[in-house]
Amino acid sequence: MKKLINDPAEVVDAALAGMAAAHPDLRVDAKQRVVARADAPVPGKVGLVSGGGSGHEPLHAGFVGPGMLDAACAGEIFTSPVPDQILAATAAVDGGAGVLHIVKNYTGDVMNFEMAAELAAAETGIEVLAVVVNDDVAVQDSLYTAGRRGVGATVVLEKIAGAAAEQRRTLAEVAGIATRVSADSRSMGVALTSCTVPAVGRPTFELGPDDMELGIGIHGEPGRQRLPLAPAHEVAGLLVEPLLADLPFRRGDRVLCLLNGMGGTPLLELYLMFDEVSRILRGHGIEIARSLVGSYITSLDMAGCSVTLTRLDDELTALWDYPVRTPALRWGM
């Protein structure tokens, strides 16, 4: 294992210390492992809280800032944050308009966010609503989930819901918009290599030099099938066609297309893949109205990519375009 680390047991804390040093416009609670906007809580604004296991950077802490999340909690590598962390984040961003929890659909995340919401209501009286992201079409139920996994659409949902909250919409309105985004998003990924968890020191799974895993999960969970490595245009078809059939997307739809790297794939290859994906969508009469290419929800050093399609209307497009300023995503500010 070759990694730029000191002690594998301290990777998360050291990374959060680095984030605090690099971004003085954020407030980092090292004890609770919570990253929040420096100006939180914002009076009269719905607070947005998300979080999950570390190892998926820039998700979630990289998306904290105006126009997106108010706070994010970091668990251990690929492990949900605990209820006390989530409760601390919730209290830190409550500006009197309630708090929305954005939760990826993994059993530990769902359970711990539910417990934190119950504690918030009982101990502080904060009104909390939750939206669960479950966009991965690759598998139905797995070792980590009941239902579909939450993957790339999490980024899209955090951005669009964050814009709605910044516009001072009500908690019910922000939750409704987030629910729409989740319902109208589909994702699927492919892995060319495994990832290596620092504390383990070896690949999470074995993948031959001429193999790829289609439908891989962001924690190294198995996908739909293991296939021989194929050219990019074939891989793009294997990822996109199931998405189009599942919603289903229709000719004339306008979509946001996120071509996401899993952590170990060069941007050169991601743009190449985006070109192949765009060809397929044009062939189906689907317009890419907005796009995002880069590594936004990763799996440590895994090589591979995922495609997320979100069906857009005028309202969601305007919310996507709304100004945002976070470490990993910023425009219009």
- Per annotation, catalytic residue among 23, 60, 219, 233: 219
Q: How far is CA 49 from CA 60, 179, 258, in A?
A: 9, 15, 22
C-alpha–C-alpha distance, residues 107 and 115, integer Å:
12
Rounded to whole angstroms, the Cα distance separating 68 from 157 reads 9
Q: Respond yes or no: is residue 60 known to be catalytic.
A: no
Give the residue from 60, 302, 295, 39 showing the smallest Cα distance to 157.
Answer: 60
Using CA atoms, how far apart are residues 120 and 143, in angstroms rounded to an integer? 29
Per-residue burial over 119-132, b = 16 or more CB atoms within 10 Å of its CB, e = otherwise = bbeeeeebbbbbbb
The answer for 66, left when phi > 0, alpha when psi is -120 to 50, beta otherwise, is beta
- Give yes or no: 56 in active site: yes
Task: Given the residues 23, 56, 60, 101, select the one marked as catalytic.
Answer: 56
Contacts by residues 201-207 (CB-CB < 8 Å, ≥ 24 positions apart): 201/1, 201/8, 202/1
Q: Cα–Cα–Cα angle for 207, 212, 217, nearest 5°?
A: 85
Question: Where is 19: in which H helix or E strand?
Answer: helix 11-22
List active site positions: 56, 219
